[in-house]
Amino acid sequence: MGSNYLTSPLLLVINTLFDLYVLLVMLRFIFQMLRADFYNPISHFVVRATTPPLKPLRKIIPGIGGQDMAALVLCLLILMIKYFIIRAMGAGVIDIGNVLAPVAKASIGGLIIIGLADMVATFINIFLFAIIIQVILSWVNPGAYNPAISLINTVSRPVMRPIQRFIPPLGGLDLSPLFATLGLMVIKMLAIPPIIFLASKL
């Protein structure tokens, strides 16, 4: 068996665990930005899971305009640790928004830029999947309420509302989720490659 026999599954585990925690921290940032219900059980779990590493960071990183900048810095630090681990394991590139980012040869500045691209992709994906899940739930169980649906509506609303102003329902069919999803996918496709390209030049 080749050396990839154990390395590939281990890389999968590392990527998944680090990305899940980055997702939690980014969700906390978005929930705070959108003023989501703090007492919602899911948002309460996100807060409790991310508070320990955020507490010391907040002592040295102030918020800006009411936004939790310490959460963004924590995301970047977690991603940097992940990149160094992946690099130490001999992996050359990682996939960010279907774009290959060269972590093996990137400088520290390059890794920081790659981390920013990773954060942008995660940020967009949260809104993208919130809209997709909202559409699926509207088909499967319309009108139902639970804590997850409440948060999904809170996250998807800022993207959906402007589109709904220009694209009203046609014959009772709401096409705004389709346009919102396509718009977010296009933004991600346009935003991530230039950032990765910049990182490769540092």
pLDDT in tens, 137-195: 878 777 667 788 889 999 999 999 999 888 877 766 888 899 999 999 999 999 999 99
The pLDDT value given to residue 1: 45
pTM of the model: 0.91
Contacts of 67 (CB under 8 A, 6+ apart): 29, 32, 33
- List, for residues 10-67, the tens digit of each pLDDT value: 888 999 999 999 999 999 999 999 998 888 899 999 999 999 999 999 999 998 988 9
